[in-house]
Structures are given as structure tokens and as C-alpha cells.
Amino acid sequence: MKHTVFVDGQEGTTGLRIHEYLAARADIDVLRIAPELRKDANERARLLNAADVAFLCLPDAAAIEAAALVTNPRTCLIDASTAHRIHPDWRFGLPELAAGQREALRTSKRIANPGCHASAFILLARPLVDAGLIAPEQALSATSITGYSGGGKKMIEQYEAGGDAKLLSPRPYALGLAHKHIPEMMVQSGLRTKPVFMPIVSSFYKGLAVTIPLQLADAGDAERIHAAFQKRYDGERFVRVMPLDDAATLADGFFDVQACNDTNRVDLFVFRNGQQALLMARLDNLGKGASGAAVQCMNLHLGCDEGLGL
């Protein structure tokens, strides 16, 4: 049986990558809008309502408008924007979030795809909150370094044009401490205190790593944290818990932010020294951090193998 899929916002970075994932799928018929009709609300509504699954790869306001165009109860929307990630009527598109999340994604017609920074942060923090190793009130901080593709087409053009010396070095941003991923980072991790979050964009195309530093009450807490990750993600095909104090990384002396590129995988690490620890998660910001996660949710919803095409 073939399923029909429409990508609203097919020319953006996420939309283009979704099309790449679906191109080799014999079980998917992709509906495409004519370039001259991309802003025609009637044509967009027709295609949205004709699809079994419609991906919204749009700015927040446009995603809200697109969702309002859908009247077909059989159409499942997967929204890649920030607009619905903490909305109570939308399921959060992270199958590994908690027990029961996959079933919720199978049955829901409204799925909010996670942000790239948020996915890495939540996969680190949520198991520890659930296990009582981090209190919901605990004030966490996190740093994320990401490739420039996460900034979309304009930023990609800016970096690839060259000639601007300031783009050669890493650039911290969201200095107003109000990054758009923070609400979902809190809600989906079970935190009640806003984390201090500093993202950094650098001069490589893709790849992302989030780091949460911790002061431990007891040196043995690092082993308990690592064990909580192993227990939560046991059997997960797209989450890999690396050995405690990963020897290969320590031997190299540097962390490879791009080692998950071109995969739908997340690698989780715990490094410790006495009563200090670094929790680290890396992923491809265009894969598990965006388009790969969206296709994974589509597969779940349609009853396909979760990793099909990934």
C-alpha cells in the first residue's frame, strides 16, 4: 500500500532533506506543488488535505496558518517549526522520550518535530529527571556547538560565499538568553527551572554537540548517571550510549562533533573527574536533529519499520 506525502516548504533545508529521504521509497507517493503556486492557499490546502502525512517545513506563523488549512481528519501533520512543541494537543516527535511515546505518535494526527539543540539536551536530561538523579528544580547550564546549516538557507549562503573573516571562528549567539528551544527543553525534560543555554555556530556544515556540566554530590553519581542512560536507551536503534569516560575520545583528546553526520543516530557520553562530570550528546542537526527525526515519526505513524529509509 502506498502512502501520499506532501512537504509544505519543500524548498527549505529541512524540506529538501526530507525529499532526499523519501526519494528512494517505493511505498511513498510525494505530492509536489508547482513553484508558481507555493503561496497559493487554495492549492496548498488541496495538497495538505490530500496527503496521508504532511510535513510543515515553515516559519512558526506560516506553520500555524498551514495547520488551520487542514480539514481532513485522516491527514497527519508533522510540524518542523517551533510553533507546536509544547502545545497540549500536539505530540512531541521524539520516540525515545519516554515509555508510551511511540504509541502516542502512532495514534496522533498532530506531531511536533523537536528542535536540534533540544533533542540532544532532552535525551541527556529527561532520563536523569525521571530517575531522580536531577531534581526538576535544579538549575542546569548547557552549551551547544552546531554547524551553520542549522541557520537555514541565508546562513548557508553567507558561510559558503566566503570572504568574511568573522565567520572563520565559532560564534556564540542567542545572547539574550531566550533561545526558541528553551521552552521545549524545559517541558519535555520535566524541568521547572529555566536552563542557562548558550548555542554556538561554527564554520562547518553540519553536526551538533550539546554539553551539560554537572557538579556531583558524590563521585559515584557519574556511574549512576551512565547506568540510567543505559537502562533508558537499552534496545534503541538510534541512541547509542558510549562507554563511561570513552577511551577512544580521551585518547584523541578532542571531541568529534561531526561523528554522527549522515546518520539518524545520537551518541551519549559521560566524562567524569571526581565530583565533576560532563554529559554530552551529538547528532546530525539535519538528520536526527530535523529531517531524520521527522521521517522516523512518519514511519511510526504509518506503521512502517521505524528505521525505513534512515
Q: What would the DSSP string read from start to end of 159-177?
A: HHH---GGGGS-EE--TTS
Would strands 266-273 and 276-283 be described as parallel, antiparallel, or unpaired?
A: antiparallel
pLDDT (average), residues 199-220 = 95
Long-range contacts of residues 274-277, Cβ cutoff 8 Å, at least 24 apart:
274/219, 275/215, 275/216, 275/217, 275/218, 275/219, 275/221, 276/213, 276/214, 276/215, 276/216, 277/213, 277/214, 277/216, 277/221, 277/222, 277/225
Q: What is the pLDDT of residues 118-167, one digit of tens each?
A: 999 999 999 999 999 999 999 999 999 999 999 988 999 999 998 899 99
Read off the DSSP letter of residue 280: E
- Strand-pair partners of 276: 215, 273
Task: Say how far apart CA 48 and CA 71 lie, in whole Å.
Answer: 9
Is 305 a residue whose pLDDT tops 90? yes
Which positions are catalytic? 116
Task: Say how far apart CA 107 and CA 185 lie, in whole Å.
Answer: 24
pLDDT (average), residues 202-213 = 97
Q: Which domains does the chain have, with CATH numbers?
A: 3-114+289-302 (3.40.50.720), 116-287 (3.30.360.10)
Q: What is the pLDDT of residues 64-96, one digit of tens each?
A: 999 999 999 999 999 999 999 999 999 999 999
Is 11 a residue whose pLDDT tops 90? no
Q: Which residue has the cell 488535505?
A: 49
CA 154-117-107 angle, 5° bins: 105
Task: Say how far apart CA 73 and CA 93 lie, in whole Å.
Answer: 19
Task: Say how far apart CA 161 and CA 180 lie, in whole Å.
Answer: 27
- Strand-pair partners of 213: 278
Task: Say how far apart CA 98 and CA 77 lie, in whole Å.
Answer: 21
Say whether pTM exceeds 0.85.
yes
